[in-house]
Chains A and B, each alone.
Chain A
């Protein structure tokens, strides 16, 4: 238990000295992407080989370090999920990609023992071999602040977090600043909520700090529900103390004494890591009563979500923590006045809290040098879809979509052409080629009819049908609508019906106009953020891809060739051997013919189910 600032500083110094003394390191990415591709097997193999070959190694930070020991470590997500499992060799900073168990022996023999780089494992793009991680184009244009520790430290070790300068911001907030100064610093930094809304964090904090109703609460929204987003997961799993530190500082600033972290049900590892981090912080006296010998007390709790997207909305989230159905309520009163248990509550997203320690440590002026005038700092994005380098990235606000998609993301997969990017999940919108030079910041995106949202970027190529994408999102929102207010409950249902009709080839004249009318109505009248933004994907795809909608409705044709019901299925008489397999497979008896002669599909009966296509042993049946 650390009872004073001096004790904390001395302990941090010890941790730092131990980390600095480490010589060679093998850091294996333990992020979900790499683990699912076999990172744990690579770790086990490396460990077994070092034992077998008598290479001296350690698995955790040593009390009395020996620089000739090799440190084997599983860190958090390195972000470059596409080419995982990833292994980084330090001090050289070499990055090995797509590492398999079979590569491990060479890594030990060549790299660890002889200090040579294995070029065949290095990342290669357009014939150029990139040995060092920092030279790889995927990393070069990034500025990693909130994700800084993720690929460096062992998330289960508070000592490593301390060695990286952890809890210095808390120290500063508790001993060198008044709570007003903390609030001012955050306000001054221009930090805006990273959960989607972009509300100035400092303003929110000052509103809670002003309240005289105790106790007050600090709540973290870790209910990252947007499909296609996983950046908060990374912070919670890979650098849990950064989140805790940010929340404790919010407590200092606002006079709150209890913290709640609401974590999405699908993230069991995040729950486990946070629980462990809380226990460690309590053990060291950084959480609990009389933190570091001061009068300040702060207790942290974890709530697991149970699968409701609407719980990402503030008042629904607090209702869920209270053990109720997670439904939003009418505002005002706002969460800052009547939030959790009806008390004043600071509610921010994971990434917002993850930025706090840096702002307190390095100051608002420094923070403002990153990003744009009205959107300072960085933003993490989950880059996915039909893109070459899927992964987790962090860039300064104001970076253009082109830089993100083509420089960092490496462009489209399989040489296809860029069509659109969906940003901000089901609440956001689609952007097209004409927006590629748009800077990614709160205001520019809003103008273009999209939002930053939580930061999911799903890139789509020519084979993606935009009407189908709109239907997909509407299906999601309609499913997740809590049913409390009529515009969202009924409106999304009607919109979904129309979209389903269009992709099924039964679109009618007037459907587009009806979608627009319903969309505008829901946006104006729904109770909460989920409803207000539900029509975003539909309205933005109509705006930029109206022709595709029209082709579906008036020509019964899907230009991207994706909509099953709009396909024509035909038998190629040249290839058909007349085996009758397809006719027997067809559920509606649409195929007929004589044995050993080409069969024919009756297009009026065909329901385009495609079962004949997979049944044909001669690949004679084609979808168009």
Chain B
């Protein structure tokens, strides 16, 4: 599945945050919201627009956990593995999701780009442990069974 990258949409972000180095993270965040990952093509484009070396932009993009250089699925499952969720057994949930979708620690996104399964250090929803976040919504007190049911729900929705 090839995706065409429209770079001009970044101009709005550059205009909004200002073309200076301190705006870089905000601009990359916007780019990630637009494309759902950071396509390679944006690095030379931003380097020229912001007048900073491409290597520095790449350095920032790879430093922060939230930036992804690989395309992600439509539904991103973030299984919380913070302390509170961990002690209330979050790993079996992760394993069940991976098993259901044929994913692993290295293969995080399904071939049809529908699902991505990853872990997150803490969602700050510790009172609802174990929690799973799908895109922006938090699902509380999950079990391996309810997580798998959730996948089915999203598949039907699609």
Contacts and interface: CB of A to CB of B under 8 A. Distances in A.
B22 A36 contact: no
B33 to A, nearest CB: 11
Given A230-B126, A321-B22, A385-B84, A476 B121 contact: yes
A97 interface: no
Nearest to A31: B127
B21 A322 contact: yes
Interface residues of A, number: 56
Interface in A257-277: 264-268
Interface in B64-79: 64-67
A81 B127 CA distance: 6
A325 B125 contact: no
Among A225, A227, A309, A479: residue with most chain B CB under 10 A: A227
B83 A386 contact: no
Among B24, B125, B127, B131: residue with most chain A CB under 10 A: B127
B26 A32 contact: no
Nearest to B83: A228
A442 B84 CA distance: 23
Given A306-B25, A323-B23, A464-B87, A390 B63 contact: no
B67 to A, nearest CB: 6
B131 A385 contact: no
Interface stretch (B5-13, B103-111, B135-143, B150-158): B135-143
Interface string A387-399: 0001110000000
A348 interface: no
A288 interface: no
Given A36-B128, A228-B83, A323-B21, A308 B121 contact: no
B42 interface: no
Given A37-B128, A323-B23, A306 B67 contact: yes
Interface in A439-465: 456, 458, 460, 464
B25 A323 contact: yes
A226 B122 contact: yes
B34 interface: no
Contacts of B88: 385-386
A229 B121 CA distance: 11
Interface string A163-188: 00000000000000000000000000
Interface residues of B, number: 39
Contacts of A320: 25
A326 B127 contact: no
Contacts of B125: 32-33, 36, 230
A226 B122 CA distance: 7
A323 B64 contact: no
B138 A308 contact: no
Contact of B63 (A36, A229, A326, A382): A326
Given A385-B83, A458-B83, A81 B65 contact: no
B115 to A, nearest CB: 20
A308 B65 CA distance: 6
A422 interface: yes
B124 interface: yes
Contact of A228 (B22, B126, B140): B126
B126 A384 contact: yes
Contacts of A460: 87
A159 B120 CA distance: 37
A82 interface: yes
Given A304-B29, A309-B121, A391 B127 contact: yes
Interface of B: 20-26, 28-29, 56, 59-60, 63-67, 81-84, 86-88, 120-129, 131, 136, 138-140
Interface of A: 32-33, 35-37, 81-82, 84, 224-230, 233, 264-268, 303-309, 320-327, 382, 384-386, 390-392, 422, 425, 456, 458, 460, 464, 469, 472-473, 476, 479-480, 482
26 contacts: A33-B128, A36-B140, A227-B83, A227-B86, A230-B124, A230-B126, A265-B66, A266-B124, A303-B26, A306-B29, A306-B64, A322-B22, A323-B21, A323-B24, A325-B60, A325-B63, A326-B63, A327-B63, A384-B127, A386-B87, A386-B88, A390-B126, A391-B127, A458-B84, A458-B87, A476-B121
**5 tightest CB-CB pairs across the interface, nearest first?**
A81-B127, A307-B65, A227-B82, A306-B64, A384-B84
